[in-house]
């Protein structure tokens, strides 16, 4: 629900201001790639795994919401016109996609196409927020809705860690799975990236300001 809230906050920002200033297209593209590669079963009927309606609907919503955001920033005015490409200069292909793809080929739990793409998506999600964080630091003064969007993403990942601790305690198979450790390490790295942001986010809320560190 916190993850869904992050999409709601971002759409609210885009529709209310009719602008995407301060939003990183690179981060949105990375998240879209994360969801598409993680949920390949939606596109390949033989490997489709129907757990329940909730699970399938969430997969579709994540992909559709991310694709919609990317489409609006790239194709639709006034959102396209308000996007500052020169500010969003993180080289996501060289420093996110390529390294994560190489790491997935080297460290994985099973050498199959679906498993490699899943592993790649886990690694990529750990660093997908970096372009957004860098963009926010460059702006210095950040809109509340944009900061709230990032805060929701950080909270969603932090809650995942609580879920992992619960499963580690109650599910025996969770100890021995290599995939478990891939998820754990990637999740900790991702949560750590938010620590600096959350420190200044808390200060900004306490002092009722919108300033972030330069």
133 contacts 197 by C-beta, under 8 angstroms: yes
Distance between CA atoms of residues 177 and 174, nearest Å:
6
| pLDDT tens-digit readout, 4-54 | 999 999 999 999 999 999 899 999 999 999 999 999 888 765 555 666 888
124 contacts 96 by C-beta, under 8 angstroms: yes
* pLDDT exceeds 80 at position 143: no
**DSSP summary character for residue 174:** G
Nearest CA-CA partner of 10 in 65, 60, 78: 65
User: Of the ranges 42-56, 94-108, 137-151, 176-190, which one carries the lowest mean pLDDT score?
Assistant: 42-56
Kindly report the pTM of this predicted structure.
Answer: 0.88
| pLDDT tens-digit readout, 123-141 | 999 999 999 998 888 876 5
Tell me if the bond preceding 78 is cis, omega within 30° of 0: yes
Distance between CA atoms of residues 84 and 153, nearest Å:
22
So what's the pLDDT on residue 61?
Answer: 95
3-state secondary structure of 152: helix
Distance between CA atoms of residues 40 and 42, nearest Å:
5
């Amino acid at each position: 629900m916190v993850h869904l809230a992050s999409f709601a906050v971002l759409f609210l920002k885009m529709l209310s201001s009719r602008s995407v200033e301060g939003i990183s297209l690179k981060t949105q593209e990375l998240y879209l790639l994360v969801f598409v590669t993680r949920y390949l079963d939606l596109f390949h009927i033989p490997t489709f795994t129907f757990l329940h309606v909730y699970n399938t609907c969430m997969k579709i919503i994540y992909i559709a919401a991310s694709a919609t955001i990317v489409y609006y920033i790239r194709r639709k005015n006034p959102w396209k016109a308000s996007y500052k490409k020169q500010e969003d200069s993180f080289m996501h292909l060289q420093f996110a996609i390529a390294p994560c793809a190489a790491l997935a080929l080297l460290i994985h739990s099973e050498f199959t196409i679906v498993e490699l793409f899943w592993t790649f998506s886990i690694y990529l999600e750990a660093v997908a927020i970096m372009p957004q964080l860098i963009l926010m630091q460059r702006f210095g003064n950040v809109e509340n809705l944009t900061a709230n969007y990032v805060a929701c993403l950080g909270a969603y990942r932090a809650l995942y860690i609580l879920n992992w601790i619960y499963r580690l305690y109650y599910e025996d198979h969770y100890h021995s799975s290599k995939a478990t450790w891939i998820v754990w390490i990637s999740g900790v790295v991702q949560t750590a990236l938010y620590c600096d942001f959350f420190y200044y986010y808390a200060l900004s809320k306490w002092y009722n300001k919108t300033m972030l560190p330069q």
